[in-house]
Every structure is written in C-alpha cells, then in structure tokens.
Structure 1
Amino acid sequence: MKKVAIVGAGALGSVYAGLMADAGHEVHAVTLWSDHVEAMRRAGLRVSGFSGDRTVAVHASTGTDGIGVCDLVVIATKAYDVEAAAKATLPLLGPETVVQTIQNGLGSAERVAPVVGADRLAVGVVGGFGAALAAPGHVHHQGMEMVRFGAYAGLPAERLDASAEVWRSAGFTVALFTDLDRMVWEKLLVNVAFSATCALSGRTIGEVLTDAHLWPVASGCAAEAAAVAAARGIDLRVGDPVEHVRRIGSAIAGARPSLLLDHLAGRRSEIEVINGSIPREAAKVGAPAPVNATVTALVLAAEESFTG
C-alpha cells in the first residue's frame, strides 16, 4: 500500500483517486470544491462507468495541511493552477516522493519543476477517459484509453517505474516514455481536435465526428498540430494524425471535453495551452496555424462574458 495525494480532485483526479483507493492505497483527494469534499467525507467517492461501479473511502480535504509525506503526489489541476498547486504540495514531499503533473496542453511541467524539483518530477498525459463529475461525490467516466509518463529531468528510472506501479495496481494501463515531446504531442492532437469545437458548438465528441460542418474544423486543428510537430522534428507514431484522432474520439463518442464542461459552468478554460499553443509553436518554425488561431480567438471571446 502506498500513500497517495491527488491534488486537484476534479473529474479526472477523482477517477484516479477512486480507483487507487479501491486498490488498497491510502488516498488523499484534495479539491477546492467544498461540496465534493463534504460528499466524499460523508458517503465516500463513487466511481462509475467504464471501470465498473464502486464507492470507496478516501481522505478528502480542501487543502494539504495535515496530510504528511506521501509516496506519490499527483497534480491534476487545471494548467493555470499548477504553480499554486505545486507550492501546496511542498509539505507532502519527502526524499523519495515522486510528483506527477498531469495537465492538458503545453508548458505545465516547466512551471512545476522549479517548485518541486526537476529530479523528482514525472510528466503525465492521459486520454480517452471522458470523465465528468455527475454530482458531488460521484464521478463517471467513458473509457481509460491511455496513461503515459516520462521523467522530466533526473528522476531515476526505478522511482518512475515505482510510481507507475501504483497506477497499474489500480487497473490503469501505463506506458513509460523517454521522448516527452512525442508523448505530449500525441495527446495534444486529440485535445486540439475536440476541445474548442465541442466548447463552441455544445456538442459531444461523437457529434463533432459526425457533423459535416464541425469535423473539418476539428480535423483541421489536428492536422495543423501534426504539421507543427513534424516541423519541430517530433516523431509522432500515430500513423495518419486525423485517423488517430477519429479512432480515439470514436471510443468516447458520448464524452464532453473538459473545455466544454468549463463553458457550461461559465468557467475559464485551458484554451490558451491547448489550441492556443499551436499558433505559438507554429510561429517558432515559420508554419501557419489559422484554424487553431481562429477557434482560440472564438473561445476567448466567448469567455469574456463569464463571471467565474
């Protein structure tokens, strides 16, 4: 049994917490959503969907005070909250603690490493979950397609594998990577395809896939990202990038990406590090990215009306 803290127990973080607790680990779920904390304390955390349906006991809190040193700390917050979350993890870190940061888009690891130490940091990407909080204390997910990790800088291979074993013991299929650019960009292809298109249209992933107006936009976003990756010399191994996105999306057709869920709740999204990252990276290699630039601008314009 390992002691694990999930800092950022939103939809995906709650799936991690629930399945790890179900495997017998001591899990601390940290989220600022007090109703979620209260529900988990009162009745446990229910995880339903692809992995089955169970309710498990977790240690839920709105902060990290009193948790103590952990074997594994997973930072699963939104990208714009990673620095604050990383600082909150400092009381949880001992000499052997591994920190895994799992966010959408680009740039989070570079912000976490100076806080927690690059030599204890693993970068993670996950995909194909289609997770959403059905109610306080209840998370539902559509699948469990990928969980991938790689050492950021200096994390010994044996400690990376030991941290991955926590996930494996909870039923996750984990792949370890040495090429972090490849790992991150293969996931980014899927994110850029569906994040903005679903948010702007209010449609599920499956509805975007079958819509004659939306799919060209989604596939155009992915094709631009693949072209930028190629220009940067990143060795994507997904075959045809548009068919890769179609395959991943088809497996979770009923899912609503986190960016759509943010818009439905009137919350700021992670558009800047997802679709918004493609024009920035494209400019570095002299490549165009007009589709991603356009959908990013439309999402940001929509968010100007949000009060949260």
Structure 2
Amino acid sequence: MSTRHTRVAVIGAGAVGLVVAEAAHDAGHDVVLCARTRPERLVIERSDSVRELDIPVLVDPGEAHTADWVLLATKAQDVAGAAAWFDGLIGPETTVVVLQNGVDHAERVGPLLPAGATLLPALVYVAAELLERGHVLHRKGARLTVQGCPDTAGPESFAAFDAPAATPAASTAGDLPGERFAALLAGSGLAVEQVADFRTAAWRKLLTNAGANPVTALTLQRMAVIQQEEAVRTLTRALLHEAVAVGVAEGAALTVDDVARTFDMYDSFGPNDGTSMLYDRAGGRATEHELITGAVVRLGDQHGVDVPLNRAILALMRGLNHK
C-alpha cells in the first residue's frame, strides 16, 4: 500500500519562494515551483554552503494540478498576476499560505481565491537576496509567524529576527491552519511560530519594513546607512514612531518600546546587508511601497493620525517607481 505525499505548490520563484520551497522539500513533501519563467538552475547560497535544488518548475498555469497547500510567495503587488495559478492549484481542501509583507493579507488575497479554500496569513522573517534568476543568497533569518490558538505565546516572545534553526521534528498537526502549517514544515530549516495576537505581530513586522526598506531603497545604501549615519537614523526612528501611532489606532498592542526593539533588529544586521526594497530597486523591479509605507499613510488617514514623514516618503517612492 502506498501513501501519497502532501502536495505543496509554491507560487513565486524569488528569494522567499526558493527558501520556502526548499523547506517544504526537506520536510518530505511533493513540491512544485510555479514561476513566470523557468530558471536554468535553482540555487540557494548561504555563508557556509551552496545547494542546488531538484524541484520541478511549472511556467504554464494550465499544467497545474490541485495541491494540498499553496504557498504564495510573490511580491504583494504581483498577486493579481499570480491568481492565474489559483484555479488549477486550489481545491476545496487547499490551504493557501500568504507569505507576503503588509497587514492586509486576507483582505487583499481572499477575494481572489476559489470558494472553500482556507487562507492563512504568514509573516516572513527571512533575509534573502535574489542574485540572479533562480539563485538566492539566504543571509539570515528562518522564521515564519502565523496565527495560533488563544493560549499560544504573544508576539513579544519573537521580537528578534533570528529564530531556531529548525522546527521540532515531533511536531503534530492540530485542527487550526497555523498548527497544520507548523506540522507541514516540521523538521525543515524554517521554524513556524504561532502567536495569539497576530494583528500586533503583523504590525511589528510592518515596523521592520516601514523604516529600513524605503530608506535603503531611496538612498541606494545598505543597512550601514541606518546604523552609522545619525541624520538617517533620526529620520528612520521618526518614521517608526508615526507607524506605531497608526498601529495603535488599528488595535495593535504597540508601544514606543517597539521602536527601540526594531532598531535593535536593524543593528543586528551586517552593514552590507540590504532590504527587499533595495534589492528590487537595484534589480529594476517595482517595490512594495504601497503595501508598507502606503499602508501607514492610508490607515493613518482613516484614523485621523498625522503621518507627514511617511507621506513624504511615499511620494518619493511613487516617484521612484513612476514609468
């Protein structure tokens, strides 16, 4: 008697997509990578290793078959394009994990999913750079954060960027999507951590992006510009204070301590580390400013919270992306 392996489809062959595809493969599942174009090779490079992945790649949505899990790892602004894969991959029993930035995963992706699919928002703490098509440099971070049951730990337990190297091999699935996702990647190189207050966790993740991402993209500098230039550091801190005020208005349990916590995270990076927005700008790709700085401005307007610095940064990012 044969046992069917769990079928996992990863949409997006960028930095995050390759790292999570590797994890699902290492956890023993049948993995397929869905991409716009087929890379010649799939390579994940780390400080101590270079690994080539043997994972099939689909480029035609018409060839897709229903998966048990769909891991959506495109940039947030590319969801509409990724939706071409949904009909072929998603059935009534499929769980879709949205591995993207922002605080509106469900609102943005949910309306595009076929009826019956389960949606699970996830926060990605993986610092990885796409060096060229199919070749990723995974610098640090190996954590995905999802909604847990009410008695799981609060997000304050997971403030640091780095996480344990692997999820426990003995992890078992419960009934909640987050529990099942943790079990799915058990034994891989990614740790899936569950929090009771996902709203606060999502805003804490947004803070990590709202300061460093636009600042590095606009200056075309890596993390050293925030770590070493006092004027830039002051501006970044002010951007985060505005974002905290908006998050509180949204119901997140943020305080000014979260700004200090975010700067501790920034300072833990190497001076030559970058951000996803910097990598996208350097690669000539569109940036996620509307889902990060744009979210701070849009929700600030809704709640009557003044965010003049984020508004100015958003204007500059829109100008940067103007075609």
Q: TM-score range by the shorter chain?
A: 0.7 to 0.9
Partner of 1:296: 314
Q: CA deviation at 1:20?
A: 2.3
RMSD: 2.2
> Unpaired runs of 5+ in structure 1?
none
Match for residue 213 of structure 1 among 211, 218, 231: 231
Paired residue type of 1:63: D
TM-score normalised by the chain length of structure 2: 0.83
Distance (whole Å) between structure 2 residues aligned to residue 51 and residue 110 of structure 1: 39
Partner of 1:99: 96
Alignment of 1:73-88 (within 5 A): 73-88=70-85
**Greater per-residue helix proportion:** 1
Q: CA deviation at 1:158?
A: 3.5
Give yes or no for contact 1:142–1:252 (8 Å, CA) kept in 2: no
Q: CA deviation at 1:75?
A: 0.8
Distance (whole Å) between structure 2 residues aligned to residue 266 and residue 94 of structure 1: 35
Partner of 1:249: 266
Distance (whole Å) between structure 2 residues aligned to residue 22 and residue 205 of structure 1: 31
Partner of 1:126: 124
Partner of 1:24: 28
Paired residue type of 1:5: A
Match for residue 176 of structure 1 among 194, 197, 217: 194
Alignment of 1:1-308 (within 5 A): 1-32=5-36, 34=37, 37-40=38-41, 45-49=42-46, 52-116=49-113, 117=115, 120-127=118-125, 129-144=126-141, 146-150=143-147, 157-236=175-254, 240-253=257-270, 254-304=272-322, 306=323
Distance (whole Å) between structure 2 residues aligned to residue 177 and residue 114 of structure 1: 25
Give yes or no for contact 1:28–1:67 (8 Å, CA) kept in 2: no
> Aligned pair count?
292
Question: Which shifted more, 294-303 or 178-187?
Answer: 178-187
Sequence identity, in percent?
Answer: 28
Give yes or no for contact 2:123–2:145 (8 Å, CA) kept in 1: yes
Distance (whole Å) between structure 1 residues aligned to residue 47 and residue 196 of structure 2: 29
Q: CA deviation at 1:232?
A: 2.9
Give yes or no for contact 2:26–2:188 (8 Å, CA) kept in 1: yes
Distance (whole Å) between structure 2 residues aligned to residue 16 and residue 234 of structure 1: 28
Secondary structure of 2:221 counterpart? coil
> Unpaired runs of 5+ in structure 2?
149-173
Distance (whole Å) between structure 1 residues aligned to residue 143 and residue 224 of structure 2: 19
Q: Deviations over 1:101-141 (max 9, x none)?
A: 121123342121122247600001112x2211123332111
Q: Give the 3 Å change call, closer, same or farther, for CA 219–259 of structure 1 in structure 2.
A: same
